[in-house]
């Protein structure tokens, strides 16, 4: 499977949210995309996931423009103002909401993930590495998901060790993974990034 964005741009009411950007990701691959704050990280994640239709360019899956299929197989992870857990929400409640289950089942899931001790912590107080790992695992386990868009995990900490190993493990499981970060975070990773606003 290959998801490809070619010259994808997204406009907002007051100007561009994402300047034309090109990137592609395949099964079992991690792609790093970087740009300064406000460059369109979440807009690109939404476009790659079929949640918004770009104003310019196109997003395809295996050469076909199919937003419905993209929405089924692409999961956004912790996207700001889209699906990040609300501040004040306890971790077990965020997990229960994602699993569409009760608190007890959420607590069991957290215990299985070696994170049971954080069940009653507010999500914003959970260590960045635990937060990113758990939210990524939840997204990856949704039925039919084959690709992950991990949206600005570096906003929680400057330590790339909290999210880079998670991304690579998911790729090793055969998922296509896009990680969107700011330039300082991208510089710490041994991978040449794509750039927001680069139409290639």
35 alpha-carbon distance from chain centroid: 15
pLDDT band for 38, please (50, 70, 90 cuts).
confident
The pLDDT value recorded for residue 133 is: 98
Q: For residue 113, is pLDDT > 90? A: yes
pLDDT tens column, 45-75: 999 999 999 999 999 999 999 999 999 999 9
Instruction: Please report which confidence band the pLDDT of residue 101 belongs to, taking 50, 70 and 90 as the band edges.
Output: very high
pTM of structure? 0.96
Q: Which domains does the chain have, with CATH numbers?
A: 2-85+131-195 (3.40.50.300), 88-121 (no CATH)
CA distances from 120 to 89, 115, 139 (A): 9, 11, 21
CA distances from 5 to 22, 49, 95, 125 (A): 5, 10, 31, 35
Query: pLDDT band at residue 94, thresholds of 50, 70 and 90?
Result: very high
Residue 91, pLDDT score: 97
How many CB atoms are located within 10 Å of the residue 183 CB? 14
DSSP per-residue letters across 41-62: HHHHHHHHTTSS--SEEEEEET
DSSP letter for 38, please.
Answer: T
105: left (phi over 0), alpha (psi -120 to 50) or beta: alpha
Average pLDDT, the chain: 96
Integer Cα distance of 173 and 150 in angstroms: 16
The pLDDT value given to residue 39: 87
């Amino acid at each position: 499977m290959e998801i490809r964005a070619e010259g994808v741009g997204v406009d907002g009411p007051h100007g561009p949210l994402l300047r034309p950007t090109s990137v592609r990701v395949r099964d079992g691959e991690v792609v790093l995309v970087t740009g300064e704050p406000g460059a369109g990280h979440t807009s690109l994640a939404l476009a790659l996931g079929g949640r918004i239709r770009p104003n310019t360019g196109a997003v395809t899956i295996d050469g076909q423009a199919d937003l419905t299929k993209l929405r089924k197989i692409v999961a956004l992870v912790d996207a700001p103002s889209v699906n990040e857990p609300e501040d004040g929400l306890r971790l077990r409640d965020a997990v229960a909401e994602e699993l569409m289950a009760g608190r007890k089942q959420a607590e069991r899931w957290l215990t299985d993930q070696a994170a049971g001790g954080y069940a009653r912590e507010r999500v914003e107080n959970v260590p960045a590495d635990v937060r990113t790992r758990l939210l990524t695992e939840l997204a990856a386990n949704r039925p039919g998901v084959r690709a992950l868009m991990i949206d600005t995990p570096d906003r929680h900490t400057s330590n790339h060790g909290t999210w880079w190993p998670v991304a690579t493990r998911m790729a090793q499981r055969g998922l296509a993974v896009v990680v969107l970060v700011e330039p300082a975070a991208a510089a710490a990773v041994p991978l040449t990034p794509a750039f927001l606003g680069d139409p290639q």
